[in-house]
Structure formats: structure tokens, C-alpha cells
Chains A and B, each alone.
Chain A
Amino acid sequence: MNPILSIILKRLLIGFVTLWIVTIIIFAAIELLPGDIATEMLGQAATEESLAAFREKFDLNRPVHERYFSWLGGAITGDFGISLANQRPISELIGYRVGNTFFLAGYAAAIAVPIAVVSGMLAALYNGSVFDRVLSSSTLAAISFPEFFIAYILILIFSVGLGWFPSLANVDVEMGLGERLYRTFLPAMTLTLIVLAYMMRMTRAAILNLLALPYIEMAHLKGIKRWRVIAVHALPNALAPIINVIALNLAYLIVGVVLVEVVFVYPGLGQILVDAVSNRDVTVVQAACLIFAATYILLNLLADILSIIANPRLLHPR
């Protein structure tokens, strides 16, 4: 078999086994709740009949493994059961929010990725310049500042001070794309600033590693033009690490979204997750955690596979 195909298949297998174990962990959460869920939710004063009705409604009478498989089957088809707190179908509660969350993360990525890759490359090419040093110190700020610090600074300047953008990102379904982009600009900027420095730093490091290799020096010594060395010799090999950097940061964005959504009161999945945790609405928490964790794992898997595919050495085995 083609070696690259077998490597990819192995990665896929590991990825899906991990995902499967994670679904078990998330499902097990409800089993680990101390005491009986029905009495916990309805209180000590609940009658025998209402407890029985509750158990019937949430399907608590069947054995654990049966419930796990029906939960998993439902989750794959987008049906996450009903909320413990208000007994409404979860898919109804989170349906449009999932879209909103991915929209915000995608928006931030669309701004951050091109800037990060281009400026990371420039920093590598002009290694040691003022631009490069500014970049290094801004990374320190990015790792040190909590998300909400950046968010409130942006609000104070662009919303309170200048009045250019709204401080609350309340979007609804009927809103047009332009209006939506305008209202979610500040949360998208916050997310961008959080991942930008990391991405630039990682891109820079990937290219610097490459430029130090003997074959690049060889190309220079042959008298090839500088841009050609970079475009033809360096870039194909740099592609794998850069793609990896992008996918890893997208995975990070998906999680970073939780805090930013809360700051800007954005109707996304992160906000409902936080609400559900404080209400101890376990079924909703499970659904949201599953979506976040699955996206995160799949993006990491994608990063692995893309960097295998983009690796010229693996593509042209001798």
C-alpha cells in the first residue's frame, strides 16, 4: 500500500478512537451526578408519580449502555435529547447558536490567518529587524492578557470612546450579512488579537527553521534569485508547518469563543454552555461540550492529515 495512505489511515483511526472515548467521557458525566437525577432536579418533596414520570421522560429506566448508544445515535443526527432545566428539545435551543459560534470563529479566522501568515513570513525574512522584535514582544502581551482584558479595552476605545461599533453583539436570524459583520466586529477583533501573535510567531519559527537548512543555502550559492529561493524552494516545504499552525489556531479559536461570547453577550453556543453549567443543566452541557470537543479534535486531526499530505518528502517517496 502507498505509505502516505497508510499513515493517513492510521491517523484517522487514532482520531476517531479518541473522539469515541471522549463521547464516553462526556456521556458518563450524567452518570456521575451525585444521587438520583430525578430527586435532584425535582427536589425532595417530589411525589413518587412525578419522579417516575421524570425518569420516563429522560429515559432513565433503561440500562446505561443502551442509553449511551441512543444518545450517541441521536447526537450524530443532531438530536441531543431534552434539556433537564426547561424540558425543551436541545436541538431547538442550540440550533441557530451553533451557526453563530462558527460564524464568529470563521470571521476571526478570515481576518487573522492572512495577516498572520504574511507577517510571519516577513518577520522570518527580515529576521532581527525592528518589525521582528515588535512581533516577539507582542506575543508576550498576547499570552499574558486575559481575553476579557483585550475585549474591554476594545470596547472602551471603539465603542465607548469613539462610538464606532456596538459593545453588544446581538444578532438575530433575519439580519443581513453586512449588518452581522458590523455588529460582530469587536468580538471578531478580540479573537483575532488573541490568536494573531501565536500564529505569526509559529509561522515565523517554521520558516526560520527551514531557511537554516543546507539545501536553501545551496540554492543561494547556485545564484538563484532570492524570491525564487523562497517561492520555489522554501514554500513547498513550509506549507506543511504553516497549515498545521493555522489548523491548530482554529481549534484554539473554537474554544476561545466561549469567553468572548460572554463578554459581548453574543447568542452563541459558548454562552448557553456557561448558563447551562451554572444551572447544572447536564444534558445541555453534554451537547455543547460534545460539539466543542468534536470540532477541536477534528480540526487537530485535519491539521495532522493536511501536514502529512503537504509534506513533499512523503509525497514523493523514493
Chain B
Amino acid sequence: MHNLSHHLKDAPVSAWIGILIVIFYAVLALGAPFFAPFAESASVGKQYMPWASPHYLGTDALGRDVLSRLIYGARNTVGIALVTTALAFTLGATFGLLAATIGGWFDAISSRVVDVLMAIPPLIFALLILTITGTSVIALILVIAILDSTRVFRLSRAVAQGILTMDYIEVARMRGEGMFWLIRKEVLPNAAAPLIAEFGLRFCFVFLFISALSFLGLGIQPPTADWGGMVRESAKLISFANFATFQTATFGLAPLLPAGAIALLTIGVNLVVDWVLHMSSGLKE
């Protein structure tokens, strides 16, 4: 704990900006019902109301409050992306570490499977699978988690292989320690920093991927508020925008608000990841 606060004090400005952005989103997502002025999918006014109190960001085509939907969107989109990344990580890291530790046929088979899965572009693969399963949140999470776990597999396998050549592993093996002890006590602690940074990167990828699918109408389904879906719903408005007055200019901003919310969080996470990577490479020196 002392170590962490020490690092935080030395963190560059960019890392602080990233941390603040991530905390801001986390607070919004956790406290969504508290911050949002209206309910997630209730019709609370006329359609396309201007940006004025009590609807500070106007209303959408169904008269739902845009600000409230943006806030609930943080909870839904980020929540689903987090669950997916965690699942992808559990899957990929388990198989990656096992493949590196067991080696032999297990390594060969799982590496070939991953090669084939990675040969197909993820978006195309996801669309193929979603055609079969239909669009549901469970299917979405499982498909993306499996596709994304291939990248985690590659990384954790490579990192673990590097660690397994170390002398202390040899010593532990001669002492007669079992495989799971090796993974838990020797490999995992040493692989933590690159894996944590990878978690951030994978989260960004998954988050953008889910938003893209929702934007295509194949991800999180309405009436659940979700940023990708909100971009899709408000995209038509952009052609009615003109910069003559503030109120007509806001039409142009309608799809940019949720899209910008996606972009800002990804930037924040990337800034933190850069810092973690920098720190972990610095510690090794």
C-alpha cells in the first residue's frame, strides 16, 4: 500500500488525468440511479426537446432524457465490457499459463487452436457467431470473451515461458513443488505487471468492440441505455444540424456525445496503461 502511494506521488500528469477520468466514470457507473435526473428508459417529455432545464441534454426520439441515458450507459456499457474482459482474462491466462507450464501436446494443441481463431478478423468472427446465437447479452459476452482470450493466451504464455527458464523455477522444481504451486507462487507474481497492463488494453479493445456491435444494432439491445446504441439512434439528427443557433447546433452533437463518452474513457484507460507499463519496465532495471 505504501508502495502504491509512493508511485502515485511520482505519477506524471498524463497518468493523473487518466486516473481521474477512470474514477469519474466509475463513480458515474456505480451511482447511476443517484446521479441521473430521470429513469433509464422512461418517456419523460416530448421527443427531441432542446437543451434546456430540466432536460439539460435534451430528449431523444422517444422523449427519454439524454443525460440520464448517458449516465446509465456508463453502467451498462462499462459493466458488460468489464465482465467480458474479466472472463477473457480468466480463460486466456489460465490456458496460457497451463500451456507454458505443461508444454508438450497441451501447448501444441491450444496454440494451434488460438492460431486459427486469430486468423479470422474478430469482428467478422463475432458477426458469424451472433448470426447463429442471435443477439443477447450473454451471447455477446461469451463470443467476445472467447475471441479476446486468444490475445491474452499469447501474452501470458510468452511471459510465463520467459519466467519458467529462470533458475528459481528450476530450484522449485527440484524441491518437488507441484505445477499449481509453481504457477501461483512463482509465475503469477512475476507476470503481474505485464498482465495488468494487458488487462487495461484488452478492456479498451472489448469496450470499443461492444460499442461497435451495439452501433451496428447487434450488441446491447434497446431499451437498455448503451453508448454505441445511442450513437446509432441519434445518427439521423446530424443532418438537421446547422450552426446558425445554439439549439440547432446541438442536433449535430447528439451522436457525438455518446461517441465522445466512449473515446474519453478509452483515452483515460490508455493513459493509465502507459504509466503502468512504464513503471513496470522501470522497476526491472
Q: Contacts A144-B266, A255-B121, A255-B124; is A276 near B131 (CB within 8 Å)?
A: yes
Residue from B116, B121, B235, B263 having most chain A Cβ neighbours under 10 A: B121
In the bound complex, how far is the Cα of B122 from the Cα of A289, in angstroms? 11
Contact with B along A47-83 (1 / 0, CB 8 A): 0000000000000000000000000000000000000
- Contact among B116, B216, B242 with A18 in the assembled complex (CB-CB below 8 Å): B116
A185 at the interface (CB under 8 A from B): no
In the bound complex, how far is the Cα of B276 from the Cα of A262, in angstroms? 36
Instruction: Give the residue name and chain of the A residue nearest to B268 (CB).
Output: A144
A277 touches B218 (CB 8 A): yes
Instruction: Give the residue name and chain of the A residue nearest to B240 (CB).
Output: A160
Give min CB distance, A186 to chain B, whole Å: 12
On chain B, the residues within 8 Å of A147 by CB distance are 212
In the bound complex, how far is the Cα of B127 from the Cα of A286, in angstroms? 10
In the bound complex, how far is the Cα of B115 from the Cα of A18, in angstroms? 8
Q: Contacts A152-B235, A152-B259, A155-B238; is A274 near B218 (CB within 8 Å)?
A: yes
- Contact among B124, B134, B238, B263 with A156 in the assembled complex (CB-CB below 8 Å): B238
Give min CB distance, B132 to chain A, whole Å: 5
Size bracket, chain A contacts: 35 or more
A114 at the interface (CB under 8 A from B): no
Give min CB distance, A245 to chain B, whole Å: 18
B211 at the interface (CB under 8 A from A): yes
Q: Which applies to chain B's interface (DSSP): helix, strand, loop or mixed? A: helix
A259 touches B216 (CB 8 A): yes
A263 at the interface (CB under 8 A from B): yes
A7 at the interface (CB under 8 A from B): no
On chain A, the residues within 8 Å of B208 by CB distance are 146
Give min CB distance, A11 to chain B, whole Å: 13
On chain B, the residues within 8 Å of A281 by CB distance are 131
Q: Contacts A146-B212, A280-B131; is A161 near B243 (CB within 8 Å)?
A: yes
A293 touches B121 (CB 8 A): yes
B241 touches A156 (CB 8 A): yes
B235 touches A277 (CB 8 A): no
Instruction: Give the residue name and chain of the A residue nearest to B201 (CB).
Output: A143
Give min CB distance, B180 to chain A, whole Å: 33
A141 at the interface (CB under 8 A from B): yes
Residue from A26, A143, A152 having most chain B Cβ neighbours under 10 A: A152
Give min CB distance, B111 to chain A, whole Å: 13
B28 at the interface (CB under 8 A from A): no
- Contact among A145, A274, A282, A296 with B120 in the assembled complex (CB-CB below 8 Å): A296
On chain A, the residues within 8 Å of B62 by CB distance are none
- Contact among A25, A160, A255 with B242 in the assembled complex (CB-CB below 8 Å): A160
In the bound complex, how far is the Cα of B217 from the Cα of A174, in angstroms? 31
B163 at the interface (CB under 8 A from A): no
Q: Contacts A143-B204, A149-B262, A160-B238; is A285 near B256 (CB within 8 Å)?
A: no
On chain B, the residues within 8 Å of A285 by CB distance are 127-128, 131
B128 touches A259 (CB 8 A): no
A167 at the interface (CB under 8 A from B): yes
B31 at the interface (CB under 8 A from A): no
A140 at the interface (CB under 8 A from B): yes
- Contact among B125, B252, B256 with A149 in the assembled complex (CB-CB below 8 Å): B256
B270 touches A144 (CB 8 A): yes
On chain B, the residues within 8 Å of A200 by CB distance are none
Lowest 9 CB-CB distances: which A-B pairs, in order? A149-B259, A144-B266, A255-B121, A144-B267, A285-B131, A292-B124, A145-B263, A156-B252, A18-B119
Residues of A within 8 A of B (CB): 18-19, 21-22, 25-26, 29, 32-34, 140-141, 143-149, 152-153, 155-156, 160-161, 167, 251, 254-255, 258-259, 262-263, 273-274, 276-278, 280-282, 285-286, 289, 292-293, 296-297, 300
21 inter-chain pairs at a CB distance below 8 angstroms, sorted by A residue, are A18-B119, A22-B120, A34-B132, A140-B267, A144-B204, A144-B267, A146-B212, A146-B263, A148-B215, A148-B235, A149-B259, A152-B255, A251-B121, A259-B212, A262-B215, A273-B124, A273-B127, A277-B218, A292-B124, A296-B120, A297-B119
